[in-house]
Chains A and B, each alone.
Chain A
Amino acid sequence: MAQLEINNLHVSIEGSEIIKGLSLVMRTGEIHAIMGPNGTGKSTLAYTLMGHPNYEVTAGSVTLDGEDVLAMEPNERALAGLFLAFQYPSAVPGVSIANFLRTAINSKRRALDPDDKGIALLDFRRLLIDNMNRLKVSQDFAGRYLNDGFSGGEKKRVEVLQMLTLQPRFAILDEPDSGLDIDAIKIVADGVNLMRGENFGGLIITHYQRILNYVTPDFVHVMLGGRIVASGGAELALDLEENGYEGFEERWAQKAR
């Protein structure tokens, strides 16, 4: 079992503090959801965990099985087993999904063994086709340029396809449901459910409860003003669905009494 531990994290962007003392412990085998309104720092958390250079950690720590994640470059974090499904992934014109994923797999293999010859083409094709079928992604996607001209739904599906193919230990999914219709949400949820197991921990960041109808989280956290203000089970998500974020802190305080 692996453990990702965020302890009293403070994060600023261009001098203004967005995350103000956030702590969270995740283990493989668990699915966590972080819910919160816009502007509360959810995406900042996702980017910070992956090591985006624009986000400055001013205090606190993030460790993966005791290793200091914050000291690692983004690619080192990926090799350590972290994955971020981007809310708005970049388009990389001229680079096919197949070429990109093969390069990513081989980067990992070569980090473990500098003499590695890379994944055999046939093995890679089989892996990619299997994963595309599991996500109901048409096979011609393999040759399409990464996110170039993709619809919102296609981008989300390809993020999940990457997750399935790269098999991270911990994945952060930053609003994997935003802008999607219910069929597309189900496909994204299927992808997370396929990963689910004792060797995988997932953190779903979302504004809405909808996706949680298809991926039942073990833990739900509510994030407001750069902090986690409440943690509980799926009932928290249902409360938010019913009553909204407005007045949540007061409601929660009353319940706690």
Chain B
Amino acid sequence: MADNKEIKEVIDLNSANNGASVYISNEQAQSTPYLSGEFDVTDALSPALPGQAEARALLTGMPFPGNKDEAWRKTSLRELPLAQLSLASNTRVDLGNAPEGVVFLPVAEALRSPHGKLLKEKLNRLVPADTDKFTALAAGYAQNGFVLYVPPNTRVPHDLTAAVRIRENGTIQNSRILVVVDRGADVTLHLDLLGAGGDQPALHASIVEVFVEDNARLHLVETQQLGRGTWHFSHEKAAVGANALLDWVYFAFGSRLSKSFLSVALTGKGSEAHLDGLSITNGGQHLDLDTQQDHLAPHTISNLNFKAALLGKSRSVWQGMIYVDPAAVQTDGYQTSRNLLLDDRAHADAIPGLEIKTDDVRCSHGATISHVDEEMIFYLKSRGLDDHTARELIVNGFFEEIVGKVRDEAVQESLRAHISRKLAQEN
């Protein structure tokens, strides 16, 4: 069935001259760490979670990522103010109400619940502590986080909400999140990462592990609105079981610099994952998103659609990979990255990738980087809209496809308002 393999490359650079690049590289060379030194963790409490002590032992002496590490080539850590940061005594996490029978608790409490044994087995399974220096930090020193466990065949009637609040006060605040949607269960979770409006630096390292078991459904809406002094590092991975569905929508607005790894493993036959996201950056923000779609079972579908709008001198990086295992026949895997440059000083990188080990698949990837279409601006101005309003309408339109993936209309409205506010900021 060799004819069945469709690989389409759409790399459109016609309107992007400087400030844009799209390429594929597999170069591996000797890497020089961006930073040397260790996190100041002198105020740490004793380890309380499984794997914490081991992760702490790993962390010491583990090098920071470097300039030749494939995942980190576009994101330098040289300006990370390591010496100004020390471990905070806590991280604030606010959890909304959950119905009876659903576990929605801070990690330590959840592990003591009747489902504790199962949850302990899941913890540390998808994101090993030794992945990099930041996973070791999060696994070893997460002050807080939460577990959501939805028992089999339970449909949670209202959306659940969780907020991780990171204070910009010169501290390291880590969180870890475990979501298990058991067989046949169905839930929507809104996960907000929020800032506190402080003017000092902060560091947030985070691990998010998500299990969508056979026949289960999860709608995960993640909104990153961290403060402008925050350095955000997250490793987020979901495993999707047979005939299960993951609808993951990801919004990135905040942080000084962020590096997020978003990964989906389609582990069961007939599983499906949709990953839609947007980012809007301004000033000197640098947002780096690394995505991975692993097809490990037959008849699986993954579809990634990310959009970025860049203002000011901001930078965005997207690096994506679709991997299709030899066992994953009859697979559809798609990835698209669209980047809209609203300022000549902004810079976007889009680096798609495919690794396909079987023939009977349909996969495609596409990446575009472009400036706002001046004909579109003229058309809207000819109807009386001023320049700013025209651009705002175009950017909101550009993002509408992603915003529309959120099922709650009130959340859609607040996202639109957030996009407009960000566009109204000077740069």
Contact = CB atoms under 8 A, between A and B. Distances in A.
Interface stretch (A75-83, A180-188, A190-198, A234-242): A75-83
Given A90-B373, A92-B376, A84 B382 contact: yes
Given A94-B396, A94-B401, A145-B397, A104 B375 contact: no
Interface residues on B, range: 20 to 34
Contact of A103 (B373, B376, B379, B389): B389
Nearest to A52: B378
B382 A92 contact: no
B402 to A, nearest CB: 9
Interface string B348-390: 0000000000000000000000000111101111111111011
A78 B398 contact: no
Contact of A75 (B374, B376, B386, B398): B386
Contacts of A100: 380, 383, 393
Given A92-B376, A107-B389, A74 B397 contact: no
B383 A104 contact: yes
A92 B384 contact: no
Given A74-B378, A90-B375, A107 B396 contact: no
A93 B385 contact: no
Interface in B118-145: none
A162 interface: yes
A228 B381 CA distance: 28
Given A86-B379, A89-B379, A75 B397 contact: no
A104 B384 contact: yes
Contacts of B397: 92-95, 145
B394 interface: yes
Interface string A63-91: 00000000001110111000110100110
A162 B383 contact: yes
A53 B374 contact: yes
A73 B383 CA distance: 11
Given A75-B386, A107-B386, A107-B389, A92 B381 contact: no
**Interface-centre pick from B378, B382, B384, B401 (highest chain A CB count, 10 A):** B384
Nearest to A85: B382
B399 interface: yes
B398 A108 contact: no
A33 interface: no
Nearest to A79: B384
Contacts of B393: 92, 95, 99-100, 103
B276 to A, nearest CB: 13
A99 B383 CA distance: 13
A166 interface: yes
B400 interface: yes
Given A90-B373, A94-B401, A78 B383 contact: yes
A145 B396 CA distance: 12
A177 B154 CA distance: 59
A92 B374 contact: no
B385 A104 contact: yes
Contacts of A24: none
Interface string A215-247: 000000000000000000000000000000000
A50 interface: yes
A95 B400 contact: yes
Given A52-B378, A74-B378, A89-B379, A94 B399 contact: yes
A245 to B, nearest CB: 29
B119 to A, nearest CB: 41
A111 interface: yes
B382 A50 contact: yes
B423 to A, nearest CB: 14
B382 A90 contact: no
Interface in A101-156: 103-104, 107-108, 111, 145
Contacts of B398: 93-94
B238 to A, nearest CB: 27
B228 to A, nearest CB: 27
Nearest to A148: B397
B384 A78 contact: yes
Contacts of B390: 75
A86 B390 CA distance: 17
Contact of B381 (A78, A94, A99, A166): A78
A80 B340 CA distance: 32
A95 B396 contact: yes
B381 A74 contact: yes
Which of B375, B382, B401 counts the most A-chain CB atoms under 10 A from its CB?
Answer: B382
B384 A53 contact: no
B76 to A, nearest CB: 34
A149 to B, nearest CB: 13
Contacts of A93: 397-398, 400-401
B384 to A, nearest CB: 4
Contacts of A94: 396-401
Nearest to B376: A90
Which residue among A53, A75, A79 has the maximum number of chain B CB atoms within 10 Å of its CB? A75
A74 B374 contact: no
Interface string A6-49: 00000000000000000000000000000000000000000000
B385 A107 contact: yes
Interface of A: 50-53, 73-75, 77-79, 83-84, 86, 89-90, 92-95, 99-100, 103-104, 107-108, 111, 145, 162, 166
17 contacts: A51-B381, A74-B381, A75-B381, A75-B384, A75-B387, A75-B390, A83-B382, A86-B379, A86-B382, A89-B379, A90-B373, A94-B399, A94-B401, A100-B383, A104-B385, A111-B384, A166-B384
